[in-house]
Amino acid sequence: MKTRQFLILILFTLGQQLMAQETIVSGQLSDSDTPLFRATILVKGTNRVTTTDFDGNYSIKCRVGDTLIYSYVGMETREVRVTQEMLSVSLGDEESISIPVQQIKSSDYQKALDSLQPPLNLQLDFHGKPFKMKDGHTDLSNIKSLQWIGDKDTLILVKHGPKIYFNIEYIGSIGTRSIDRSKLPELQHKYVQGRPQNGQYIWRGPETGEIFSYGPDQRSLVFDGSNYLYDTNGRLIPGSGTTPLPYTNELFEHGLIYKNDYQLALARKDHAIKFRLKHAQQENFYGQNDSRQTVFHTDYHWKRRLKLFFSHSTDQLNQKNLNGFQNNLFLQNFVTPISFQNNQGISVNAGLQRSFSPDEFNNPLWTLARSRNNQQNDGYSMGTSYKFDFKSTTELELRAQYQLDEISTNYGLPNGSVGFTNGYLAQKSIQDQAFLFGADFSERIELSYETDIDFAVKADYVRRSLDYSLTESFQFQGTNFTNPANTSLNIQNSTNGVYRLSNSAKLESRGSIDANFYLHHNAIISGLQGNDLWMPGVGFQLDFNELTSYDSFLNDLIISAEYAEEASEMPLFYSNRSHNSLTLAPEQSQSLLTNADLFNNSSLALEKSTNFEIGLQLILFNHRLRLNGTYFSSHMKDGIFPVLDSGSFVLRNTVDIHNKGFEVSASLDVGGYYGEGLKLTTKLNFSVNRARVKKLRQGLNSLPIAGFNNVSIRMIPSQLTGSIVGSAYQRTEDGQLLIGQDGFPLVDPENQIIGNTTPDFKLAFANTLKFKGWTFDFVLDYQHGGDVWNGTQNLLNYLGRSEESSRLREVSGFVYPGVDTQGNVNTTPVDFSDPSQPITSNRWVRYGYDGVDEDAITDASYLLLRSIGLSYKFDFGINKIFQNLKVGFYANNLMSYTSSKGISPNSSLFGFTNGRGLDFFNTPIVREIGGQIQIKL
């Protein structure tokens, strides 16, 4: 997990020629584009200190060679050495893009300069006269005027502003979300519900329970106008004429999204308080209110020592993908034949469900209207911290926090639903509480002007408690979830206390090569999972900044390496529920329940890992180009996964995994160095990751982690994680297909490894173009390689609903390449769909509900325009009521390419974390387009 950090943007420097020794360094601190108020900047070894204003701006007087210490409550402290150029700052593993020194552009400041005699230049060369700041204020953007006093031997900067500072900001957006219809599975619109019979294709209506769409061409049929329970137009009979066929059964609609974000900040002397309120509401793809979210946060600071905070969030989610709800909704919609119209009604006589095949598939509109599917999440967090400064080099911070997370879900399908014939209702409640106490102590010892040793101790204690209850009700009377015949109750309570201790020592040496060497040691004591009291680590960083030059090709070279041992405890509640579908076949997906919940317990050991990383950073071409390369290798031991034992899942330490790879990134800045003209920032990230299973415990030969009972992603020793195992065709030793007597390929009786979800590499490409107030940006994601199981396509082929089954249905006399069981070259021709034969001999139906899994393996490569935006910012000046206004347009997932339609790069089976690479009517690609406005007062 990356440590939260802040970024520094050096805006300008002043007075580099004042006395050739001192300079005023100014900049801006931000965290993910949000300015940091009251962050501290200290000149190391002195009592010279300043803080940032509401916009994160600061200025501080220092000398070239000094070290600036940047600190903010809740974030890691960063140190930056002042150089003559002071053009860029690197702050750890989150890259900060800096620009060269920018001259002052304040209009008031420039007017004051112009009015003085003799004129002064922007380097503030006062011909040896002293330079003073009134009230110690160093925010040059707030200058009201400049004036000489006395005999003009002193220059006074006069600031202005109220005694109470405030900042009001509003960000609002409105947009639409929609399914990208061009990326949906390709369906056929030619053949109606039915099957071959007596040498010809016939229509078979819903009363027959027919699931296949291997009936006749809809153009050869007409409605007879009779009184028919399942269609207001009557029954289909042979004939010619105009009909409303094919029914489209359009399910998806555009959903609106509203977002509002209000922020208020107040400060006076040593006190500062912030309030933030966020509200969001969106509709789903079916024209219904999908979710509402409200977040409130406030924090108070006193003298950069005391911090108090409180936050509350609530999410109300409707039609969430609980128990595969969304997957099953898409399935029910896509498999509906073109001769059945879902929206003619969801029920028939006695309230029974109206569906094209009532015993096999639900009408998706019945599912939407009659189901209970909602979840509410409430979160509370409050805490405090206090920092003691014993002297300039010694600090102690005490922390305390309380967290409460409550999750309440309801899921039900009424009597008469496929998968739950007698009805089902589940009500689940999860309450997770945590008390956190911590202390951070740091001590700096200065061995010399250029050498320091930093010691740090961090101690944390977390006490968690979990209260879980699940009520399940079955066999209801009617469709109103009343009077269940059976009810069960499952209650679980657990607690765990965890102590963590971290000690570190860092030797910092500044010279021709800036060198950092550090040692650290971690320890953990878990009340449930045991202890690990010895987890050492060592690392170094060498910065060759003074061996390079600003004017040369190579401006900086940084080399780093680290070795660390870690251990982690599992949460009290195991939230990854991908194991729940492993006991089901694909045809049972409509009865999926994810209530086989698992919990931390004393039989589990800590997950342990050893990690090694080496990095190289190059800064080139006057700081325009940054290149970063990282190689990593980690070994995880005792990984925790669910294991099926005697018909039930249990958590066990089952797997050891070795993960290695590398990441290369480049960032290029072109133009616009002085706030004018066109500026282009381009970032490129290339990554390769290989995680391989080294060992399985518990006597396992393989471990399924997601999927179904006949096709799944498995952990297999010596194989990359993400192995897809399923049915495959039988082959000879040299790889030829074995062909049966009927001319069709034979299926291997044993499942095989048929693919792997691991991609060859991933590439991310981001661009930001700025011109005056305009900003244009976009992000492209590309993945090359990897496999995905497209079970959606196999089922649509089986049922005759796919474009492929329609296009190839008339193929006859086809000879499969391969050999028969005697080793002879196959010469037996076959017809893919022969009306004189039973439907079970058809090319697709013969292999079962989900077909041969090998046929469903497709390339997982994709190209996705993840985001694109255009905005314009009006700057009115910081002394105006309206400081700035920003309006813009954005779009997410606007364009994409995948090797197979219907495959979404962002989805996974039933939304499970481990289900990526398995597609069985997963959520399609979702586009979002909207506009945004931002006002700052």
Mean pLDDT confidence for 429-434: 97
Q: By percentage, how much of the chain surpasses pLDDT 70?
A: 84
Average pLDDT over residues 378-391: 93
HEC string of 162-186?
CCCEEEEEEEEEEEEEEECHHHCCC
Q: What is the mean pLDDT of residues 228-256?
A: 92
Rg of the chain, C-alpha, whole Å: 33
**Do residues 419 and 411 touch, judged by C-beta distance below 8 A?**
no
DSSP secondary structure code for residue 747 in this structure: B
Contact between residue 68 and residue 40 where contact means Cβ atoms under 8 Å apart: no
Q: Classify the C-alpha dihedral 349-351-356-358 as positive or negative.
A: negative
pLDDT band at 512 (very low <50, low <70, confident <90, very high): confident
Is it the case that residue 632 has pLDDT exceeding 50? yes
**pLDDT at site 151:** 54
**CA distance to 668, 669, 883, per residue, from 682 (Å):** 5, 7, 29
How far are the Cα atoms of 5, 12, 408, 520, 542 from residue 614, in angstroms, in the given order?
21, 33, 45, 17, 12
- Confidence grade of residue 308 (pLDDT, cut at 50, 70, 90): very high
Judged by DSSP in three states, 106 sits in coil
Please, what is the end-to-end C-alpha distance for the chain in angstroms?
Answer: 36
> What is the SS3 assignment for 364?
helix
Please give the helix or strand (H or E) that residue 793 lies within, else none.
helix 791-799
* Contact between 364 and 413 (Cβ < 8 Å): no
Q: How is residue 611 written in tokens? A: 């990690």
pLDDT of 661 strictly over 50: yes
pLDDT tops 50 at residue 109: no
Confidence of residue 34 (pLDDT cuts 50, 70, 90): low
For the chain, helix, strand, coil in percent to 5 are 10, 50, 40
CA distance 555 to 552: 6
pLDDT of 551 = 63
Of residues 71 and 310, more confidence is placed in 310
Encoded amino acid at 245, one letter: L
**Rounded mean pLDDT, 680-690:** 95
pLDDT at 2: 35
Coil, strand or helix: which one is 691?
Answer: strand
Q: How many percent of the chain have pLDDT more than 90?
A: 69
* Sheet order of strands, 78-81 included: 49-51, 40-43, 67-71, 78-81
Rounded to the nearest integer, the mean pLDDT of the chain is 85
Burial (0-12, 13-18, 19+ Cβ within 10 Å), 341: buried
The rounded distance, in Å, linking the Cα atoms of 413 and 367 is: 7
What does the block give as tokens for 66? 């000094």
User: Cα–Cα distance between 331 and 319 in angstroms, integer?
Assistant: 15
Here the tokens at position 657 are: 């995994």
* pLDDT tens readout for residues 831-867: 999 999 999 999 999 999 999 999 999 999 999 999 9
Q: Name the band, by pLDDT with cuts 50, 70 and 90, for residue 106.
A: very low
Mean pLDDT across the stretch 605-614?
96
Among 704, 578, 647, residue whose Cα is nearest residue 324: 578
Separation between Cα atoms, residue 340 and residue 326, nearest integer Å: 21
Tell me the per-residue pLDDT of 411-426, one tens digit each, with 9 for 90 and over.
999 999 999 989 999 9
